[in-house]
Structure 1
Amino acid sequence: MNKSIIITLSVMCLGLVVQAQNPRYISADEAIEIAVKNNSNVKMSDLDSKVANANYHQTDAVFLPQITVGYTALSTNNPLNAFGFLLQQESVTAMDFDPAKLNNPGARQNYGTQIEAKLPLLNMDMIYARKGAKANEEAYKYKAERTKEYIEFEVRKAYTQLQMSYQAHSILQKSLQDVKQIHQSVTNFYNQGLIQKSDVLNAQVQVNTIESALAKAESNIYNASDGLRLLMGFEADGDVFTTDSLSQKIELPQDRDLSALRSDIMALNKAVDATNMMVKSSKMAFLPRINAFGSYSLNDSKAFKFGNDSYLVGINLSWTIFSGNQSRSKMKSAQFQHHKMQEELDLHIKKEQLELDKTKRDLNDSQIEIDKQKASVEQADEALRILSNRHREGLVSTTDLLMAQAQLSQQQLLLAQAIMSYNITKAYLDFLSKVK
């Protein structure tokens, strides 16, 4: 029987956190505000969004010109190129048509400065690729928003668990006081020769067990605080946190439906749009492209001299009739990716709807558990009061009294556990039904 009491208290105390030295108070809203700014996952999701934005702006080349500037120094004794240099430099004379000079021009130099420009006019495949990049950018923005919402839920969960730890610490402290009083009472009875020494030993075992649990709780508080600090983006080594007292966050009756405007669903919708744009882009690759181009050059026979100028402008129409089946296969791949993304969206909606329905039921179950545990705590408290009175009169054994005290502590811890579970479930329901 004594072993049963010890095991019961050990299970109750496992993983519980108590108040440590030099605590710092923090509210749930403050913790969330800090986490949204400093959490590493939030920062990485913001960076992903910025990468997507940079990728989108790469497609500005669909409309903007490309301009390059170059400087070239050439030397040749090739007759054709040598005469071409003279033409570019506009320095041809009648003597240059001498067959001997034409055949053996000797070394000639040309120093040219060239500015080239290319301007897209009509590239339908790139236009749709740009639309796809825009949809992808928006998808990452929604993902970043959902990451912040998830971190908010995780912080509320961690905060509630820390509240539970302090509540459990308070319960265990009160339990220790009660057991010490029982131990003192039993010791007095033993000194009067009214009970056996085994009763004193049983009471001392209870005291030792609770003191051991409190010692573990003193160490565990650092682990709980470090977990919250990690979510908030702080260093692990720092002051522990204290919280508001644990209390039930009442859920008012209201409809909680899965919204198509939820950020993760919107992100998947944008991803579907992006793959759809890539399908259209691959189809548009079968159409001709129209681009304008131009160049302006300066040529001279001496280095860093800028003599005669010339320009070249034009419009190019190109049409790839057959690309070795590459364009066709690329279109098929884009179509399969689009179908896959659509299936992923449909499956995600179904799973999230099931999760939402389950969480609603869990919240209702948690409320029932709280009501039952409140009644159990009242009954256990009354039972302990009655047995305490009877024990003082010598009508019940010390073991029965210790069991009643352990039962009260257990029911109080179970009530606190039920409240914690309710608050976490409510926070999770808020997360599942959240709409920005």
Structure 2
Amino acid sequence: MKPLLSLFLLGLIAATTVRGEAPRPLTLPEAIALALQNNPDLAAAEQRVKAARAALQQTEAAFWPQLKLAGTYSASDNPVQAFMMSLSQRAFDITSANFNHPDTTDNLNGRAVASVSLYNGGTDWANRQAAKLGAEAREAARDAARNDLAFEVTRSFHTITKARQFVRAAEAAVASMEANGQLVRDRHEAGQALKTDLLDAEVRLAAARENLVQARNALALSETIFRHTLGVGERDLVTAAAPTENTNDRLPVRPSAGNDFSGRPELVAAHKAVAAAERQLRAAQGGHLPKVSAFARYDFDSGDARNYEGSWLAGVNVELDVFDGFLTRGKVAAARADLEIARAALRKTELAIQLEVQQARLNLDEAQARLDTTGKAVAQAEESLQLIKERYGNGLALFTQVLDAETALTAARQRRIAAEADARIAAAALQKALGNPLE
């Protein structure tokens, strides 16, 4: 019993150790690659591409000959049927035939039937082209889903970085408030500070600790969102690696990008959808044209399942719907309406992308301007705090001024942190808006 208990405890300790391991850091390219492998939305998009390709394969069947094998056993004393069976078996004997009251005659028939469509008003060709364009549209939609996912991973990655820096800023604020509290406590005991100064310090320290709790919770939440964006959930403890690049550098935008977003997969998919709708309209209009097909058939007939006689039949079939109850007219009207819907969707997509590009540019400009101003604000807040502390030490400033300066410095640092993360997210958003791959 003791060995089993020991093994159980060892296993429990090992499991606890595994769960207690630090999350595995991922660089941004590694995180994007992992998300592309595991994200369920992207997996569904890939299956939609496969379904579209299968639909294309179905339309191509119309261009191949169709071959069927069939067999039938029948028996009858119907004069016409019995006569035809005997003829097919090449066993009809006119001298012994009783045309009005024939004996029961049976027949075992095996046949091979081949047919091929020669012309059907261009419907098959148009359907194949529409299916091909539809498959290409699904592929473009999949690429759009990949780009959306890469951007979401990028945003989540930089959000973790921002949350970590918020935690550091909050920890620094708590440490500073604790030091200030100790300072005013010592001065109060020495009779050099008011009781209100001590109370103010304790209130500010409590607020700083509350901010730290909120910052740590935001970090934990951002890491959870990051893992779910990657499609791994909580089964794989991963996190964003600490960035190594200089965040003070100006974030570049590809010079060659300009305002050209013609490569956006969403736009490509919309153009393909319009082209597919045009082919569907052409397919519907084919119902007004004649249809021509060729066929061939070979039969084996026997009355005793031993001796078979063969015969063949071949020909060409031509059909033209003179009146079909306005069925074709209705199909054409529906296809034309679908085409207008696709064109409207294309226009809507173009407008949406134009707006997205403009918003991304403005957001990047704003974030870059915030980088310039917040960097100066942090330096000024640090210098102001240092001066006020010196004045307070010399009895020339109130303690509330020290606390206000500490609060201002913390706020300036947080604005700087947010500006850095927002600038990187805005740069990624602009790359996505222009249809450029995220790296």
Matched, 1:260 2:262: yes
Check conservation: 1:71, 1:111, Cα contact below 8 A.
yes
Which residue of the other structure, out of 276, 284, 287, is the alignment partner of 1:285?
Answer: 287
Q: Which residue of 1 aligns with 2:377?
A: 376
Q: Which residue of 2 aligns with 1:276?
A: 278
Please state how far the C-alpha of 1:240 moved relative to its aligned partner.
4.7
Closer/same/farther in 2, CA of residues 136 and 80 from structure 1, 3 Å limit: same
Q: Which residue of 1 aligns with 2:421?
A: 420
Please state how far the C-alpha of 1:326 moved relative to its aligned partner.
1.5
Q: Which residue of 1 aligns with 2:68?
A: 68
Which residue of the other structure, out of 300, 310, 321, is the alignment partner of 2:302?
Answer: 300
SS at match of 1:241: strand
- With normalisation by structure 2, the TM-score equals 0.88
Q: Which residue of 2 aligns with 1:129?
A: 127
Give, in whole Å, the separation in 1 of the partners of 2:43 and 2:332.
Answer: 35
**Cα deviation per residue 1:50-104 (whole Å; 9 max; x = unaligned)?**
111111111112210122222222222322212222222222234541x3xx333
Which residue of the other structure, out of 98, 105, 115, is the alignment partner of 1:118?
Answer: 115
- One-letter amino acid matched to 1:285: G
- One-letter amino acid matched to 1:208: A
Closer/same/farther in 2, CA of residues 186 and 23 from structure 1, 3 Å limit: farther
Matched, 1:221 2:219: yes
Please state how far the C-alpha of 1:173 moved relative to its aligned partner.
1.3
**Cα deviation per residue 1:2-32 (whole Å; 9 max; x = unaligned)?**
xxxxxxxxxxxxxxxxxx9723211111111
- One-letter amino acid matched to 2:368: Q
Comparing 32-41 with 87-96, greater Cα deviation is found at 87-96
**Cα deviation per residue 1:143-194 (whole Å; 9 max; x = unaligned)?**
1111111111111111111110111111111111111111111121122122
Q: Report how many aligned residue pairs link the two structures.
A: 413
Please state how far the C-alpha of 1:269 moved relative to its aligned partner.
0.9
- One-letter amino acid matched to 2:267: I
SS at match of 1:285: helix
Give, in whole Å, the separation in 1 of the partners of 2:26 and 2:436.
Answer: 27
Give, in whole Å, the separation in 1 of the partners of 2:175 and 2:70.
Answer: 88
Give, in whole Å, the separation in 2 of the partners of 1:425 and 1:63.
Answer: 51
Give, in whole Å, the separation in 2 of the partners of 1:318 and 1:167.
Answer: 76
Check conservation: 2:28, 2:240, Cα contact below 8 A.
no
Q: Which residue of 2 aligns with 1:149?
A: 147
Check conservation: 2:112, 2:299, Cα contact below 8 A.
yes
**Cα deviation per residue 1:345-379 (whole Å; 9 max; x = unaligned)?**
12321332232123212211221111111111111
Closer/same/farther in 2, CA of residues 250 and 306 from structure 1, 3 Å limit: farther
Q: Which residue of 2 aligns with 1:104?
A: 101
- One-letter amino acid matched to 2:265: S
- One-letter amino acid matched to 1:64: W
Q: How does 1:307-346 map to 2 (within 5 A)?
A: 307-346=308-347
5+ residue gaps, structure 2, are 1-19
Closer/same/farther in 2, CA of residues 306 and 270 from structure 1, 3 Å limit: farther
- One-letter amino acid matched to 2:379: E
Closer/same/farther in 2, CA of residues 95 and 223 from structure 1, 3 Å limit: farther
- With normalisation by structure 1, the TM-score equals 0.88
Q: How does 1:337-416 map to 2 (within 5 A)?
A: 337-416=338-417
User: Once the two structures are aligned, what percentage of the paired residues are identical?
Assistant: 23
Structure number with higher relative contact order (C-alpha < 8 Å, ≥ 6 residues apart): 1
Q: Which residue of 1 aligns with 2:5?
A: none
Comparing 345-354 with 150-159, greater Cα deviation is found at 345-354
Give, in whole Å, the separation in 2 of the partners of 1:386 and 1:422.
Answer: 32
Give, in whole Å, the separation in 1 of the partners of 2:291 and 2:107.
Answer: 35
Check conservation: 1:110, 1:299, Cα contact below 8 A.
yes
